[in-house]
Structure 1
Amino acid sequence: MNYILIAIGAIIALYAKNTVNQNQYILIGGIMILMIGIYRISKNIPSRHQEDEHIDDKKE
């Protein structure tokens, strides 16, 4: 689902950027959809600091 949001947002943003009469609202909407997809993916990736804590606990 997240990758679909990223793809749709990128397509909409590129479409709005390439038209002769550039519609700013469509461009902003496409960028927002793109950013929502990126945020949802990054939310599931653990931070590097959390991984380091788990490795240090295993060493002791």
Structure 2
Amino acid sequence: MNQTQAQHIWKIFDDMTVSDPHAYQKFIQKNIQIGIQEIQIEKQEKIKEFLFYNNLLIP
């Protein structure tokens, strides 16, 4: 993504905060939840990998 594209996306978000604040809030909350889930999955995978490579986990 280049700078022009990023600015365009930010403008869409800025416009959305004015035109439909509820939709903007819903969008942000949804993406925060997705991010939290992805972090939890990644954390679990790293723990399993650590345990496996340190011979603490039997596959």
TM-score by length of 2: 0.43
Which structure has the higher relative contact order (CA within 8 Å, separation 6+)?
1
Who wins on radius of gyration, i.e. which is larger?
2
- TM-score normalised by length of structure 1: 0.42
